[in-house]
Amino acid sequence: MQKKALAIHDISCIGRCSLTVALPILSAAGIETCVLPTAVLSTQTGGMTGFTFHDLTNEIAPITAHWRALGQRFDIIYTGYLGSITQARLVERVIHDFRKPDTLVVVDPVMADNGEYYSMMTPEFAEEMRALCRCADIITPNLTEAAFLLGKPYDPCATRETVEVLLRELVERFGVKKAVITGISFDKDTLGAAAIDGATGAISYAFTECIRAVFHGTGDIFCSTLICAVAGGKPIAKAIRIAMNFTLRAIQRTLKAGTDLRLGVQFEPELPYLIRRLGLMPKL
Ligand code: PXL
């Protein structure tokens, strides 16, 4: 049966991230992807000035009231960038109301990177993100967000031991089945993600070549891809490997093309690769 997802993110009109990443990636994997837009922005915010921001918090109640009347339920609920603190509370309710017992709930606590909150995000937001993480099966913070969620200072030189402590603490504190930390690096040449399976305590890593530049929206590409892999039955260790490789290919293609990095990375031409990696390529 075709899976049906609800993606709860902003829509940034230009600059591939959030919904303009989640929609094509999940759809390419054959998942029906419904959306609950949290805000409309003229562009993504990283490295940009003068962007517009229209909060859609007040739309959530009427939209979800209609869905309730239609008896909607989702197999996957994926939340990312949220427009306001009030909205984060409403999203908790949305997860509760529209999940089924076996729904996969993935919370990407989008709020910070490289030790700093994104513009529009504050420490108060972190408190709401903690509450949201408690609703999740899988959380996917980057290293900065993992530290902020746990009320710790960001350590850019986190060792393997530090990362594994963070992973265990995320599982314990938020009661999630799996936690993934992105943006980890134990040497100057590689960058990767680490995952813990809460049931067994097993920790896995996936590293790729490290390209030193800021790539906007790649956290959303990683997480959307991870969801496709997990929804397709792949174990978390395999899912982070597929998500890292796909994200790297999009980055490499973008660097080769030399396009404005603030507009995101060219993941679209790599979608056939992803479909193949997910074992979804049809025979002609
Ligand atoms: O990729 C995360 C993200 C999502 N949405 C908006 C953003 C960012 C990161 O900067 O600005 C609007």
User: Rounded mean pLDDT of 108-129?
Assistant: 93
At 124 the pLDDT is 92
pLDDT in tens, 164-175: 999 999 999 999
Rounded Cα distance between 183 and 114, Å, is: 9
Q: What residues are paired with 53 via a beta bridge?
A: 41
Q: Whose CA is nearest to atom 1 of ligand 1?
A: 217
At 116 the pLDDT is 94
Residue 48 within a domain: yes
User: Rounded mean pLDDT of 106-115?
Assistant: 96
Residue 282 within a domain: no
Residue 8 in contact with ligand 1 by CB distance below 6 A:
no
Q: Whose CA is nearest to atom 10 of ligand 1?
A: 46
At 119 the pLDDT is 85
Atom of ligand 1 nearest to the CA of 12: 12
pLDDT in tens, 41-56: 999 999 999 999 999 9
CA 81 to centroid of ligand 1, rounded, Å: 6
Longest dimension (CA), the chain: 53
Residue 284 within a domain: no
Atom of ligand 1 nearest to the CA of 21: 1
- Tell me the CATH number at 104: 3.40.1190.20
| Mean predicted lDDT score pLDDT of the chain | 97
User: Rounded mean pLDDT of 125-154?
Assistant: 97
CA 2 to centroid of ligand 1, rounded, Å: 29
CA 16 to centroid of ligand 1, rounded, Å: 9
Residue 125 within a domain: yes
pLDDT in tens, 59-101: 999 999 999 999 999 999 999 999 889 999 999 999 999 999 9
CB half-sphere exposure, 208, CA atoms < 13 A: 19
CA 44 to centroid of ligand 1, rounded, Å: 5
Residue 222 in contact with ligand 1 by CB distance below 6 A:
no
* Structural domain count of the chain: 1
Q: What residues are paired with 36 via a beta bridge?
A: 8
Residue 18 in contact with ligand 1 by CB distance below 6 A:
yes
CA 281 to centroid of ligand 1, rounded, Å: 31
Q: What residues are paired with 43 via a beta bridge?
A: 14
At 83 the pLDDT is 87
Residue 223 in contact with ligand 1 by CB distance below 6 A:
no
Q: Would you give the distance in Å from CA 201 to the centre of its chain? A: 22
Structure confidence at residue 283 as a pLDDT band (50, 70, 90): confident
**Per-residue pLDDT for 284 more than 90?**
no
Residue 118 within a domain: yes
Percent of the chain exceeding pLDDT 70 equals 100
pLDDT in tens, 221-280: 999 999 999 999 999 999 999 999 999 999 999 999 999 999 999 999 999 999 999 999
148 φ, ψ (degrees, to nearest 5): -65, -40
Structure confidence at residue 115 as a pLDDT band (50, 70, 90): very high
pTM: 0.97
CA 279 to centroid of ligand 1, rounded, Å: 30
Domain that holds residue 18: 4-277
